[in-house]
Chain A
C-alpha cells in the first residue's frame, strides 16, 4: 500500500520538472521552430494529462482496493467501456499525429524555393565541410581521387573545372538571416547527421544519397551542430557551428573568402 504514495510522489515530481522546464529547448530561431514548439506543447499537454490521470488512478486503485477483508467484486468486464476507451484513444492519438503533419509537410514536402541559397554539406569521419558556389552560382566538379584534407580540399574539387575555381569551402556553416537555404547533403564514408537544435531540424547524411534540406533561420547568432548519428570513435567530437548573419555580412564574408583563395 506504500506503493500508492510512492507512485503519486514520482508522478508529481516528474510533472513538476516538465512544468518548471529546468532543462529545456533553446529558443527557436525560425518560423518552423515556433510551429514545432507549438506542436510539442500540444502533445505535452495531452500526454501530460493522460500520464497524470493514469498514474494517479493506478495509485488510487492500489490504495482504495487493498485487501481490507471485503469480498472482491465479480466482473468479467464491460463492453461499452471497452468501446469508449478504444475509440477515445484512437481519435486522440491519430488526431495528434495529423496535427503534426503540417509541420512535417512544410519541411519535406513543400515546393522548393528556386531562389534558395545553395550550400553543399560534405560529412566525413569526423568533420563537416560546407561549400558555397562562387559568383557563377555553380558548384565545380569533384573527384574522390583529388580529396586532400591537409591541403584544404576535403571535397576533392577539380581545379580543371572552371565552375569550381571560385567555390568556397568552409569548416563552419554561415547563412544569411531571413533567406531560404537549400542545404545539399553528402557523406563520403559512413552515415552522419546534421542537427541544429535552434532550428528544430535534423537529417541523416547518407553516403550514396544526395539529400536536400530546406530551411530558413531568422535570428542572427552562432549555433552548435552536433553529429547525431553514430559514425565511429570520434562521433562525440564531430562538431561544427552555424552562424546566422545579416545578409550584408554574409555577402561580405563570401567576398573575403573568395579573395583569400
Chain B
C-alpha cells in the first residue's frame, strides 16, 4: 500500500481534453457508460426485430427493404438477415454492454474513489482503452453495411462456418472478417483496461484500506479484471488464428475434405473443436465478467439499504475468488455435445457443479444480510432485490445444463437461451440499473426520479420473467435455438403461441425502457440536487461532493479506519459509520 503520489496530470481546461480525450477516470467511466447505453439500444432493437420475424416470418414491412435492400427485398426479412441480426445482437450485448458498462463504466468511475485514489494507475492507458473500444464498436457496426451484410455464425462464431468465407453463406465474407477484427480490437482494449484495474487496486489503495476493508464492488472489479486479462488474451490469439484461416490459407480450425456449395476447399488438418476450446476458455469466464460486478453492486446495495453489515464479508470475498478460479475450469460444459471425449465431459460437469456452490453461498449471504434489517425501498434497492431473484432463477437452470446426461436433450435448445438470458443477460442488467440509480447522484449531482424509477422497475421485472421463463418450456419441448422461423416442423408449429406471448412481452418490456431513458436524461438536467451522501452510505465516494472534483479528494489524502459495511453499530451516534470516520467513533471496538 503506497501513500498517494502527486498527481501526474492537472485539471485540463479545453473542452477536448476535458470531455473527449480525457484522462480523468470519471469522464472515461461516463464515456464507457454512454457507449454501453448506445449499444444496448442497438442490441435491444435487434432483438425486437428478431422476435417480430420469429412470429411473422412472411410479413412485408416496407422499411425493412429501405434498411436492407438485398437482405429484405420487398420488405420480407430473409433467414440470413435474421441470423445476422441474431449474431450482432449477441455480440453487441455481450461485448459492448455486459462487459463494458459494469466493469469499464462503473468500475472506472468508482474504483479509484472507493479505494481513495486520485485516478487510475495509468490514465493514458485508460483513455486509450476507451477509444479502442469505440473503434471496435465502429468496426462491428460497419459489418451491417458491407456487401453480404453482417455475419450469420452467431456470437460464438464456430468454424468452419465462420472460417471459409462467403461460400458458407451471405455475411460470411467481409462481414465476418470485420466481426473478427472488431473482436480482436476489443480484446486489445479489454487487456489494457484489465491491467489498469489490477495495478490500481494493488498499488493505489489509500492509507488504512486493507484488502479486507475493500468494498465488495472493488473485489468484484478486481477479480473481473483478472478474468479479463487471462480470458481476452486467449480470445485475441484465437481471433488472429481465425483471420489467418480466412485470409492467409492456414488451417487451424478447418479440416480437410470439405465440399461447400459444390466447391472442394483446399484446407487440411485443422480442428473445429480447437476453436471451441479456445473460445470457451474465454467465453465461460466472460459470463462471470458480466455478472461479478453485478454481484458486487448488489452486495453493496443490500447492505446499504437494509442498514446492516453484509452477512459473511469474508465468505463473500472467498466466494468471489472461488468463482474467478473455478470459472477457468468449466469451459468444457459448453462442449458436451461437440464430439470431445466423454470422459472430459464428466470432469467438466463435476467442476461446473462445484462453481454452483460459491454462487449459492452468495445467495444465502444476501438473504442473511436482509434478515433482521430495516429495508428502505429505493429504486436502486428494488433492482438489487430483483437481481437476487433473477440470479436464483437463472442459476438454478444451470443445475440441469451442467449435467452432460441432461444436456443430451437441452443442448442448443431454448432452455439454454432462457438460462443465459436470465442470468448473464437480465440479472447483469439489473445490476447495472441498480448501479445507475445508486450512483447517478454522485456522477451527475442530481437524483433520479423515484416514481418513474419504480414504475420502470416493476414493469421490467415482470416483463423479463414473461419473456425468458417461457423459453425454458420451449426447451423442454425441444425447440432448437437459432431458428429463424418455426414453420418447417410439426412439433414447432404447436409452440407458436408461446413464441407469440414472448414477442408481446418483449415489446412491452422494451417500451417501458423509454421511461428509463426519459428519467435518465430529464434528471441529468432537472433532477433534484443531490447532497454529498444521499443514501447515508459508508464508502469513500460518499465523502466527496456530487459530482466529485477533478482529483476526487481535492488534494486531501483520505485515511480509512473502518470496514465498508458498518451499519447499525451499537453505540455509534448514527446508524452508519463512514469508512473514514475516526477510530474512536464507537466506544467498544468492533471487527
B490 contacts A224, CB within 8 Å?
yes
With A65-B306, A72-B307, A204-B338 already in contact, the answer to whether A24 and B476 are too (CB < 8 A) is yes
With A74-B568, A232-B161 already in contact, the answer to whether A6 and B462 are too (CB < 8 A) is yes
**Complex CA–CA separation, A52 to B79 (angstroms):** 39
What string of 1s and 0s marks CB contacts (under 8 Å) between A188-200 and chain B?
1111010101001
B385 contacts A23, CB within 8 Å?
no
**Complex CA–CA separation, A133 to B257 (angstroms):** 22
What string of 1s and 0s marks CB contacts (under 8 Å) between B390-426 and chain A?
0011001101101111111101110000000000000
Chain B residues contacting A54 (CB-CB under 8 Å) are 363, 367, 392
B342 contacts A206, CB within 8 Å?
no
Quick one: which of B259, B375, B407 contacts A67, CB cutoff 8 A? B375
A86–chain B nearest beta-carbon distance, Å = 6
Chain A residues contacting B473 (CB-CB under 8 Å) are 17, 22-24
**Complex CA–CA separation, A233 to B485 (angstroms):** 11
A180–chain B nearest beta-carbon distance, Å = 17
Quick one: which of B377, B392, B570 contacts A3, CB cutoff 8 A? B377
B414–chain A nearest beta-carbon distance, Å = 10
B485 contacts A236, CB within 8 Å?
yes
A248 interface contact, C-beta 8 A: no
What string of 1s and 0s marks CB contacts (under 8 Å) between A75-109 and chain B?
11111011001100110011011101111110111
B372 contacts A100, CB within 8 Å?
no
Chain A residues contacting B400 (CB-CB under 8 Å) are 40, 43, 47
Interface stretch among B180-188, B279-287, B351-359?
A: B351-359
A50 interface contact, C-beta 8 A: yes
B531 interface contact, C-beta 8 A: no
Interface stretch among A55-63, A160-168, A171-179?
A: A55-63
B354 contacts A62, CB within 8 Å?
no
What string of 1s and 0s marks CB contacts (under 8 Å) between B166-188 and chain A?
00111000000000000000000
B389 interface contact, C-beta 8 A: yes
Chain B residues contacting A232 (CB-CB under 8 Å) are 83, 152, 161, 168-169
A104 contacts B309, CB within 8 Å?
no
A77 contacts B374, CB within 8 Å?
no
A236 contacts B484, CB within 8 Å?
yes
What string of 1s and 0s marks CB contacts (under 8 Å) between B323-355 and chain A?
000000000000001110011011001101110
Q: Give how many A-B residue pairs fall within 8 Å (CB-CB).
A: 327
B405 contacts A104, CB within 8 Å?
yes
Within 358-393 of B, Cβ neighbours of A (below 8 Å) are at 360-361, 363-365, 367-368, 370-377, 382, 385-386, 388-389, 392-393
With A6-B458, A17-B473 already in contact, the answer to whether A77 and B357 are too (CB < 8 A) is no
B531–chain A nearest beta-carbon distance, Å = 20
**Complex CA–CA separation, A202 to B339 (angstroms):** 11
Chain A residues contacting B491 (CB-CB under 8 Å) are 26, 197, 224
A207 contacts B361, CB within 8 Å?
no
A184 interface contact, C-beta 8 A: no
B356–chain A nearest beta-carbon distance, Å = 5
B569 interface contact, C-beta 8 A: yes
B158 interface contact, C-beta 8 A: yes
Interface stretch among B136-144, B197-205, B267-275, B552-560?
A: B267-275
A-side interface size class: 35 or more
B256 interface contact, C-beta 8 A: yes
Chain A residues contacting B258 (CB-CB under 8 Å) are 188-189, 207-208
With A26-B491, A86-B361, A97-B402 already in contact, the answer to whether A72 and B337 are too (CB < 8 A) is no
Chain A residues contacting B409 (CB-CB under 8 Å) are 25, 36, 197, 200-202
Within 98-119 of B, Cβ neighbours of A (below 8 Å) are at none
A252 interface contact, C-beta 8 A: no
A239 interface contact, C-beta 8 A: yes
B389 contacts A7, CB within 8 Å?
yes
B61 interface contact, C-beta 8 A: no
Within 469-484 of B, Cβ neighbours of A (below 8 Å) are at 469-470, 473-474, 476-478, 480, 482-484
**Complex CA–CA separation, A67 to B377 (angstroms):** 8
B313 interface contact, C-beta 8 A: yes
Which residue of A is nearest B361, CB measured?
A86
Chain B residues contacting A261 (CB-CB under 8 Å) are none
Within 228-260 of A, Cβ neighbours of B (below 8 Å) are at 228-237, 239
B354 contacts A90, CB within 8 Å?
yes
Quick one: which of B154, B306, B385, B413 contacts A230, CB cutoff 8 A? B154
Chain A residues contacting B458 (CB-CB under 8 Å) are 2, 6
**Complex CA–CA separation, A173 to B65 (angstroms):** 40
A209 interface contact, C-beta 8 A: yes
B357 contacts A89, CB within 8 Å?
yes
B374 contacts A71, CB within 8 Å?
yes
Chain A residues contacting B393 (CB-CB under 8 Å) are 14, 51, 55
A147 interface contact, C-beta 8 A: yes
A226 interface contact, C-beta 8 A: yes
With A23-B474, A61-B370, A74-B308 already in contact, the answer to whether A3 and B339 are too (CB < 8 A) is no
With A103-B405, A226-B480 already in contact, the answer to whether A50 and B412 are too (CB < 8 A) is no
Chain B residues contacting A226 (CB-CB under 8 Å) are 478, 480, 483, 489, 492
Chain B residues contacting A147 (CB-CB under 8 Å) are 259
**Complex CA–CA separation, A22 to B376 (angstroms):** 39
B412 contacts A76, CB within 8 Å?
no
B488 interface contact, C-beta 8 A: yes
A236 contacts B79, CB within 8 Å?
yes
A104 contacts B568, CB within 8 Å?
no
B232 interface contact, C-beta 8 A: no
Chain A residues contacting B271 (CB-CB under 8 Å) are 208
Chain B residues contacting A236 (CB-CB under 8 Å) are 79, 482-486, 488
Quick one: which of A69, A97, A203 contacts B350, CB cutoff 8 A? A97
A209–chain B nearest beta-carbon distance, Å = 5
Which residue of B is nearest A83, CB measured?
B315
Quick one: which of A189, A191, A197 contacts B260, CB cutoff 8 A? A189
Quick one: which of B313, B397, B461, B591 contacts A6, CB cutoff 8 A? B461
What string of 1s and 0s marks CB contacts (under 8 Å) between A19-57 and chain B?
000111110000000001001100100110011001101
**Complex CA–CA separation, A22 to B480 (angstroms):** 18
Chain B residues contacting A231 (CB-CB under 8 Å) are 161
Q: Which residues of A contact B (CB under 8 A)?
A: 1-3, 6-7, 10, 14, 17, 22-26, 36, 39-40, 43, 46-47, 50-51, 54-55, 57-58, 61-62, 65-79, 81-82, 85-86, 89-90, 93-94, 96-98, 100-105, 107-109, 124-125, 144-145, 147, 188-191, 193, 195, 197, 200-204, 206-209, 211, 224, 226-237, 239
Some 22 contacts from A to B, beta carbons below 8 A apart, are A6-B462, A23-B474, A47-B399, A65-B370, A72-B575, A73-B568, A78-B368, A82-B312, A82-B364, A96-B353, A105-B342, A107-B405, A125-B261, A145-B264, A189-B260, A190-B160, A190-B161, A195-B412, A211-B339, A224-B489, A226-B492, A230-B83
Q: Which residues of B contact A (CB under 8 A)?
A: 78-80, 83, 152-154, 158, 160-161, 164, 168-170, 255-261, 264, 270-273, 306-315, 337-339, 342-343, 345-346, 349-350, 352-354, 356-357, 360-361, 363-365, 367-368, 370-377, 382, 385-386, 388-389, 392-393, 396-397, 399-400, 402-409, 411-413, 458, 461-462, 465, 469-470, 473-474, 476-478, 480, 482-486, 488-492, 495, 498, 567-570, 575, 591
